[in-house]
Structure 1
Amino acid sequence: MENILAPAAKARISTPVIALALYAVASGYLMSLIPLMLPYYGLDSSLASWLASVFYVGLLLGAIIIEPIVSRLGHKHTLGLCLAVFAITSLVMPILTHSSVWLVARLVAGFSVAGIFVVVESWLLQGSPSIRAKRLGLYMAALYGGSAIGQLGISYVDVGGYVPFLIIGVLVCSSITVVLFGRCEQPQSESIAHLTAKQILKLSHAAIIGSIVSGLVIGAIYGMMPLELADQGIENSDIGSLMALIILGGMLVQPVVPWMSKYLGRTLLMAFFCLLGTLAVSLVMFDDDMRLMASGLFLLGMAAFALYPIAINLSCDNLEAKYIVSATQVMLFSYSIGSVLGPVIADHYMSQEHSLLGYLFSILLATCLYMLAASLKFKNHVVAGE
C-alpha cells in the first residue's frame, strides 16, 4: 500500500508470498494467544484491549514512517529486518512479564508488521491491473490462510510456558531464511504522485468509512474475541478452531468479492456484507449451539474481511494510475485508526450483557444503514446527472 511499486517483468513473487505465509501462521497464533495467556503471567485481562490497540498504533506509525527505510535498504533487507524485529518483540514477552514491557513490545511489533505489509504489497503490486488483482488475491490468501492455521496452535499447544513462543520464533526465523536465501527479483523503486489534502477530501467518503469500520471490527475480533469466547466457557482447544473459522471465512470470501462487484455497486456491496455480519453476530448472540456459533463466526469472518478490499477498490475508482498507491495509503491510515480504536471501544462493552458481540452488532448495523443511504444517494445523483 505504499509508494515503492516495481515494473519488473516476470518477477519472482514466490519468495515474499512464502515468507508472508510463514509470518502469518506465527502472527495468527500470537494474536489469539496473548489475551488467553495474561492470567498465566499474572497480568490483568483488561490489558488485552490495550495490547491490541497499541499494536495498531505501531501499525499506524509504521505505515507513515517505513517508506524511507525501504527506499534505503531495499525490499529484501527491509523485509528480513522487520521479521527479525517481530521475532524479538515476541520472544521478549515471556522473559519480561511486565505490562509496560508487553505494551512497548506490541507497539514495536506493530511498526515491524507495517514494514512487512508495505514491502510485500509493493512487491506484488506490479504490472497491469489484472495481474495486480490476481497477486492481491494470492497475497490475501497467504495472509488469511496462514492466520487461520495459526489459530489452531491454541488447540494443540498449551497457552502457558515457553513452548508457544519457541514455535512462533521458529516460524518467523524460517520466514527470514526464505527471504534471505530464496531466489527473488526485487522491484526497483520509482516515484509516484501523492494526493493533495484537497484530493484526499474528494475521495469516496464511503470508502474511507468502510476502511475505518473494517479496522474497528477486525481489530476488536483479533484483540478481544478469544477473551469473549473464553468468558462463554469455551475450552481453549475450541477457541483456536473457532478463531480459525473466522479467518478462514475471510480467506474464502476474497474471490467472491470481485465476482459480486460485477453485479452490485461497491457501496451497496459493503452494505450487503455489513448486513451479513449483523445476521452472523445474531446467530452467535442468541443461540448457544456450537454448530450455529461456528457457522455464525465463519460468516462474520466473511463480512469483516470483505470490507477493506472493497473500500480500496472504491477509493481508486476514476483515479489516475499514478495516484492509486497514494489512495491506498489513505485507506491503510483509515483502517489503522479503526484498528486502534476498536479494541478500546469494545472493552467498554465487555461488562454489558452481550459484550463484544453487542459491539460488533451495533457497528455493523449502523454501517449497513449508512452504506444503503450512500448507495441510494449516489444512484439518485447519477440519475439526476443524466
Structure 2
Amino acid sequence: MIKDILPIGALLLGSAFLLFGGGIHGLILPVRGTIEGFDSLSLGLLGTGWALGYVAGCILTAGLVARVGHIRAFGAMCAIAAVTVLCNAIIVTPWAWIALRGITGFCFAATAMIVESWLSERTDPGNRGRIFGIYTMVNLGASTAGQLMLTMGDPAGFVFFALGAIFYCLALVPTALSSVTTPTPLVSVRLNLRALWRNSPVAVFAVFWVGLSNASFGTLAAVYAQNVGLVLAAVALFTSIPILAGAIMQIPVGLLSDKMDRRRVLLGVAVLALIADAAFLSFAPEARIANFALAALLGGSIFAMYPVIVAHANDHAEPGTAIQISGGLLLIFGIGSIVGPLVAGWAMGSIGSRALYGVTALAHLMIIAYTLWRMRQRDGVATAHKSTFQPINAGRTSNLQTAELSQSGPAPSASPEKAP
C-alpha cells in the first residue's frame, strides 16, 4: 500500500490542503451569511453559483490546461480560490458572494481535473481502484476536518476566511515542488444526452433529482441547523455526519447492487431518504441527537444514490462509452445542483426552514415513482452482465476526470440491448 501511495503523495497532499480549505470555506459562508442577515434565497443561490461555476470548470478546463500546462493552471486556480475567500471577508453582500462562489466552483473543478488526470497516469489497472478509493477518502476526510474547524473560533470574525486562503495557497506547494511527470492533456469528452437517455432513462431521470436533492441539502443544511437553534459545534457536526454516513453506506449499497437489480437498490435507498425527509417535516426535531440521527439517515441515503445510478447506466453501456456516460450523468447532476439550492432557498424563505425537506422529499418521490414505472416496463440486467460498482464521491469533488479514473481498467461486460 505504501509503495502505491508514495509516488502520488504530493498530489494527495495538495488535494487534502485544497479540500480542507474548501471545507472551511463552504461552511463559513452559510454560517456567516445567516449571522449577517442574508435571506434563505440568497444563501441558496450560493449553491447555485457554485454549481454553475463547477459545470463551467468541467467543460472549459481541458482547453485551459492545453494552453498553459497542468502546473501553471493548478497554481492559478489555487491562487484565485484564495483571492475569492478573502474577497468574501471584505465584500459582505449576497450578490458578491454568489458571484465569488461561482468562481470558487470553477477553480475546484479545474484543480480536481488536473490532480485526477495525474493520478490516472500514475496508476495502472491493477491498483487504480485502490488508489481512487484512497483519493476519495483523503478528500472526504480533509473536507470534513475543514468543516469541524469552525467549532474552534468565532465565525463572525476574519480568521476562518484567512485560514481558508492559507490552505488554498498551501495546496499549490506540493505539486509545484514535486518531480512527478505531468500528464498528457486532459480528456475532452463529446457528450450525447439523447443517446444517454436511450441507454438508461432511469439513470438520466434519477440523477437530475439526486443533484437537486443533494445540492439543496449540502448548501442549506447549515442554515436549517442554525435556524432550529443548534450551536456552532452542532452545526458543524450536522453538516459533517451526512457526508461520513454517505461514505459508509456505499459499501453495503454497492454489495447489494451487484447482487440484485440496481433499480431495486436505488428504490430502497430513495425510500430511506424519504423516511428521513418525512421525519424532519413531521417531528421538527430540536434535540441535537434527533437531528444528528436523521441527518445521518438522510446523508447515508442521498450520497449513496449517485454511484448506483452510474453503475446502473454502465450495465447497459456499449464497450468504450463509460466516460461519455459518466460525463453525461455528471452534467445532468450539475444541472440539478444548479436548480436545487435556488428552489430550496426560495421555499425556506417563503415557508420556513423545514421547507428544505419538502424539496428533498419531492425529489425522492419523483425517483421512487419513475423507477417503479420503469421496472414494470423492462427487466433488470442479469448479474453476469453487470459492470463493476465503483464508490463515487458525487458532487463537489467529482468531474469528468473522476469518471475516467473510476471507470479505467479492464472493460466490463456490457448488455446494450435493453434500456432499463
TM superposition shift of 1:39: 4.6
Cα 1:265–1:122 change in 2 (3 A) is farther
Matched, 1:60 2:58: no
CA distance in 2, matches of 1:227, 1:123: 37
Check conservation: 2:114, 2:186, Cα contact below 8 A: no
- Does the 8 Å contact 2:196/2:204 carry over to 1? no
Given the superposition, is the C-alpha separation of residues 210 and 135 from structure 1 closer, same or farther in structure 2, using an over 3 Å criterion?
farther
Find the aligned partners of 2:62 and 2:296 in 1 and give their Cα distance: 35
How many Å separate the matches in 2 of 1:293 and 1:253?
19
Question: Which residue of the partner structure matches residue 17 of structure 1?
Answer: 12
Deviates most, 49-58 or 150-159: 150-159
Query: Where do 5+ consecutive residues of structure 2 fail to align?
Result: 383-416
Q: 1:196 to 1:335 in 2, by over 3 A?
A: closer
Q: Per the alignment, do residues 157 and 11 of structure 1 end up closer, same or farther by CA in structure 2, a change over 3 Å counting?
A: closer
Corresponding residue to 1:316 among 309, 314, 319: 314
**Total equivalences in the alignment:** 376
Q: CA deviation at 1:96?
A: 2.0
TM-aligned CA distance change 1:229 to 1:97, over 3 Å? same
Tell me what 2:83 maps to.
88
Which range moved further: 114-123 or 154-163?
114-123
Distance 1:128 1:213, change over 3 A: farther
Task: From 166, 173, 177, give the equivalent of 1:181.
Answer: 177
TM-score, scaled to structure 1: 0.87
Q: CA separation in 2, counterparts of 1:128 and 1:315?
A: 24
Matching residue's letter, 1:339? S
CA distance in 2, matches of 1:209, 1:158: 42
Question: Mean alpha-carbon deviation: is it higher for 219-228 or for 246-255?
Answer: 246-255
Cα offset, 1:259, TM superposition: 2.1
**Alpha-carbon spacing, 1:333–1:190, altered in 2? closer, same or farther (3 Å):** closer
Aligned to 1:300: 298
Root mean square deviation, CA, Å: 2.8
Does residue 377 of structure 2 align to residue 377 of structure 1? yes
| Partner SS, residue 185 of structure 1 | coil
Quick check: 80-89 or 220-229, which moved more? 80-89
Q: Percent identity?
A: 23
Q: Does 1:242 align with 2:241?
A: no
Change (3 A) 1:252 1:51: same
Paired residue for 1:345? 343
AA in 2 matched with 1:230: Q
Alpha-carbon distance between aligned partners in 2 of 1:347 and 1:302, rounded to the nearest angstrom: 23
Distance in 2 separating the partners of 1:22 and 1:229: 27
Aligned to 1:143: 139
Distance in 1, matches of 2:177 and 2:198, equals 44
Tell me what 2:94 maps to. Answer: 99
User: More deviation in 33-42 or 162-171?
Assistant: 33-42
Distance 1:80 1:234 in 2: 38
The worse-fitting range, judged by mean Cα deviation, of 43-52 and 182-191 is 182-191
Q: Paired residue for 2:356?
A: 356
1:132-180 Cα distance to aligned partner (Å, 9 max, x none): 4333322322222222222212222211121001111121122111221
- Residue 401 of structure 2 corresponds to which residue in structure 1? none
Which residue of the partner structure matches residue 6 of structure 1?
none
Using the size of structure 2 for normalisation, the TM-score is 0.81
In structure 2, relative to structure 1, the CA distance for the partners of 1:80 and 1:161 (3 Å cut) is same
| Matched ranges for 1:1-386 at <5 A | 12-41=7-36, 43-125=38-120, 131-189=127-185, 194-196=190-192, 198-285=194-281, 286=283, 287-320=285-318, 322-350=320-348, 351-352=350-351, 354-379=354-379
Q: Which runs of 5+ in 1 are unaligned?
A: 1-8
